Each structure stands twice: as structure tokens, then as C-alpha cells.
């Protein structure tokens, strides 16, 4: 039965880096595995809005895409901010092999990393609708696995820990 590995966390937390590592290891064992990333989803499907309502639409559509793939016996490693409790709860009910991985990182560290300049621009008031600044982030209440990525160290160990738990 196919798996959904749902890697969630704030922008810059390292969820995509960790998710790609998990994807590569899983794909070595099970070739019917794909990688879905929230940013790539937006690029491919033209989802451009970032308000809370627009983010909810995107989140629901990402879930639909994952279900479409899983129904075809394809494993999915999905990396997305996923700030909605209702999405987490829906996933837990809908998918039998659902593994929610919460990649945590302190906001102070995210502001330091700020590769996309989201946090710095939001804090200056230059942009709006940034999760963790002016949109509240609802951390997953009961994730399958919690990964503290406040320090950029131990990437291989974090990936191996996740894979050990899901394979």
C-alpha cells in the first residue's frame, strides 16, 4: 500500500531539503515514488495567491494530487507549509499510510536564513501574507515525527531517522 510522507514546517525550516533526502532513499527501495513540493506545485499549476484563503485552496489541491497518485499505487513525499489543522486531520483520516513529519525551526533562525527574503520583507511591511509573521502557523498537534532543524546539522541522521520509521 502506498505511503504519503507529508513533510511540513515554515518556509526556510529545511523541509524540502529533508524531504528530498527521504524521497531519494525511499525511491531506492520503492521506485514508484514521487516528490511533490508546494513551491513547485504553485509553479506548475499556476497557483499564485498567498492569502490564508488562497493558501487553503492550494493545500486542498495538493491533497487531491497526492490522493490521485496514491490511488495509482505511487508513494508520495510531499513538502508543504501546510498551516491548516483541517488539512492535517483530513490527511490522517483519508490516508492509511500517512506519515506527518513536522520540521521545526525557531523563528529567529528562520529570519537569519531567510533565503527568499520573505521574513525580512514581511517584518519591514513590504509584503503581507507570510506564514509565521502575519499569518498564524498552526503547528501539527500530533505529528508522526518531530524533527528539530533549528541547527543546520545532522542532515543525514535526520533523513535516516525518518526512513527508519517509515520503511
Active-site residue list: 82
Containing 16, the helix (H) or strand (E) segment is helix 15-29
Give how far the C-alpha of residue 55 lies from the chain's centroid of Cα atoms, to the nearest Å: 13
CA 8 – CA 139 distance, rounded (Å):
9
Helices and strands: H and E segment counts in the chain: 7, 5
100: which DSSP letter? E
CB burial readout 63-97, b (16+ within 10 A) else e: bebbeebbeeebbbbbbbbbbbeebbeebeeebee
Helices (H), 51-116: 52-70, 85-94, 107-113
Amino acid at each position: 500500500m502506498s505511503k504519503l510522507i507529508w513533510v511540513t514546517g515554515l518556509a526556510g525550516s529545511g523541509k524540502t531539503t529533508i524531504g528530498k533526502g527521504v524521497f531519494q532513499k525511499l525511491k531506492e527501495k520503492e521506485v514508484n515514488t514521487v516528490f511533490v513540493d508546494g513551491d513547485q506545485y504553485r509553479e506548475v499549476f499556476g497557483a499564485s495567491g498567498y492569502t490564508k484563503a488562497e493558501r487553503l485552496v492550494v493545500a486542498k489541491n495538493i491533497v487531491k494530487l497526492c490522493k490521485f497518485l496514491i490511488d495509482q499505487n505511487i508513494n508520495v513525499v510531499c513538502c508543504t507549509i501546510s498551516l491548516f489543522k483541517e488539512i492535517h486531520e483530513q490527511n490522517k483520516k483519508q490516508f492509511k499510510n500517512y506519515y506527518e513529519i513536522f520540521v521545526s525551526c525557531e523563528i529567529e533562525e528562520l529570519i537569519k536564513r531567510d533565503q527568499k527574503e520573505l521574513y525580512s520583507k514581511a517584518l519591514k511591511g513590504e509584503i503581507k501574507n507570510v506564514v509565521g509573521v502575519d499569518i498564524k502557523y498552526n503547528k501539527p498537534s500530533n505529528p508522526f515525527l518531530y524533527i528539530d532543524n533549528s541547527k543546520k546539522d545532522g542532515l543525514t541522521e535526520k533523513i535516516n531517522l525518518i526512513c527508519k520509521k517509515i520503511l
